[in-house]
Amino acid sequence: MQQPPRATGIGSLPGIDPGAAHRLVFDELPDLPFLPELPARGVGADMTGRGTALLVDLYAEVQPSGWRLADRPGRDARRAASFLRQDLDFLEENAQEFTKTLKVQAVGPWTLAATLELRHGDRMLSDLGAVRELAESLTEGLKQHLAEVKKRAPGVEAVLLQLDEPALPGVLRGTVPTASGFGKLRAVEEPIARETLAKLIEALKDAGADIAVHCCAPDVPVDLLRKAGAQYLSFDALASGIDSESPRDEQLGEAIEAGVGLMLGVVPATDPPRAPGVNQLLDKVLSLSRLGFSAQQLAEATTITPTCGLAGATPPWARQALVLAHRTADALADKAS
């Protein structure tokens, strides 16, 4: 994706005030603000609960073990839907004059399947037929969500939809625990995982969105995500050891050559003992020059982000993290000029 380097956040922020959260992202991330998520609001504002609010003809409720499919929408479902509507209301208020790209986030199908339970109590991931039904429901819900976002922010140039898939590496390795916690669910074969994602991504591209996939696990399946059609790969660059040679180098190089944008998480997502400087963060990004790319090529391919969501940060650090991401993106642009 050819563009000047930009900065954005992964999605979550600390606190429970959506108005303050929206003002923060539009103030500090003028080139690529995002629709903030506030998990501290409680049930329904968490990643899985928010994902269930996007499903079509599938409903869920909270049980002691977590979110579980239900026959009809109940209090938990209404709460999740209410949070989402509230966030869209604040988006509408803040984005009326905004004309650049807006980023929104949603849990991806494999992570949702790994955290959402079937009616009888096991995780949806244990039944690939159920996963297909879930992916189809999520696809339709996301298409409706994208249409609503564009209605609320009519001046946006583009919408970048980020699918959050932190559980995907565990799905592929077979390390996702059963609902009881006493066993592990069988690994999903890579072609099946890729096909499910590819079908969803293609449908959402047809709906007019650019697609990023975020995974904050160290072993990001770069090749799978590229082949599934992701236009941006978002990952924790520090956990992935971006500043040293890695078996993933070849896959990253192929992704950049194919025009896939990298959303590099180089800013700590929780309060560090000592805040990194912009030059220190820039060096992390420029370490990818070992793959044979110039600073200009890296700048064209790169968006700077925190390593993961900022829900676990203090409010002062959350703001500083976004400021650092923006300043690092500016420094990368200067280096490439």
Stronger pLDDT, 336 or 202, i.e. the higher one: 202
pLDDT at position 336, please? 87
Closest CA to 298 of 311, 306, 288, 308: 288
Residues 256 and 210 in one domain: no
- pLDDT tens for each residue of 231-260: 999 999 888 777 667 777 889 999 999 999
The pLDDT of residue 99: 94
Question: Are 139 and 206 part of one and the same domain?
Answer: yes
pLDDT tops 50 at residue 1: no
Q: Is 86 found in the same domain as 110?
A: yes
The answer to whether 177 and 126 have CB atoms below 8 angstroms apart is no
Whether 34 is covered by a domain: the verdict is no
279 and 216, same structural domain? no
User: Could you tell me which of 34, 12, 1, 55 has the C-alpha nearest to residue 200?
Assistant: 55
Please report whether residue 36 resides in a domain. no
Domain count within the chain: 2
Residue 2 has pLDDT above 60, yes or no: no
In eight-state DSSP terms, residue 38 is -
**Whether 89 and 223 share a structural domain:** yes
Are 288 and 220 contained in the same domain?
no
Average pLDDT of the residues in 146-164? 96
User: What are the pLDDT digits (tens) for 94-132?
Assistant: 998 999 999 999 999 999 999 999 998 899 999 999 999
> Is position 273 within any domain?
yes
Confidence of residue 279 (pLDDT cuts 50, 70, 90): very high
User: Tell me: the pLDDT tens digits for 29-58?
Assistant: 999 999 999 999 999 999 999 999 999 999
Residue 4 pLDDT class (50, 70, 90 cuts)? low
User: Within this chain, do residues 217 and 306 fall inside the same structural domain, yes or no?
Assistant: no
Give a yes or no: residue 125 inside a domain.
Answer: yes
| Rounded Cα gap, residues 198 and 36, in angstroms | 26
Task: Determine the average pLDDT of the residues in 196-204.
Answer: 98
- What average pLDDT does range 6-19 have in this prediction? 97
- Asked if residue 200 is part of any domain, the answer here is yes
Q: How high is the mean pLDDT of the chain?
A: 94
Does residue 101 sit in the same domain as residue 209? yes
For residue 153, what pLDDT band results from cuts at 50, 70 and 90? very high
pLDDT of the residue at 179: 81
- 3-class secondary-structure state, position 318: helix
- The CA distances from residue 329 to 221, 278, 291, in Å, are 25, 9, 20
Assess whether 70 and 214 both reside in one domain: yes
Q: Does 165 share its domain with 53? A: yes
pLDDT at position 206, please?
97
Are 330 and 190 found together in one domain? no
Last-in-domain residue among 205, 236, 267? 236
Assigned token pair, 185: 């669910």
Distance between CA atoms of 304 and 289, rounded to whole angstroms?
16
Q: 89 near 141, Cβ under 8 Å?
A: no
Mean pLDDT of 261-280: 96
**Given 167, 202, 236, which residue is the final one in a domain?**
236
111 shares its domain with 255: no
Residue that finishes a domain, picked among 236, 271, 297: 236
Give the span between the Cα atoms of 110 and 176, in whole angstroms.
11
- Indicate the range of 7-16, 137-146, 178-187, 279-288 predicted with least confidence: 178-187
Specify if 190 maps to a domain: yes
235-270 per-residue burial string, b: 16 or more CB within 10 A, e: under 16: bbbbebebbeeeebbebbbebbeeebbbbbbbbbbb
Residue 304 has pLDDT above 50, yes or no: yes
Question: Does any domain span residue 99?
Answer: yes
pLDDT at 3: 65
Is residue 181, in this structure, part of any structural domain at all?
Answer: yes
Range of the domain at 92: 42-236
- Residue 58's contacts (CB-CB under 8 Å, 6 or more residues apart) are 52, 69, 133, 134, 137
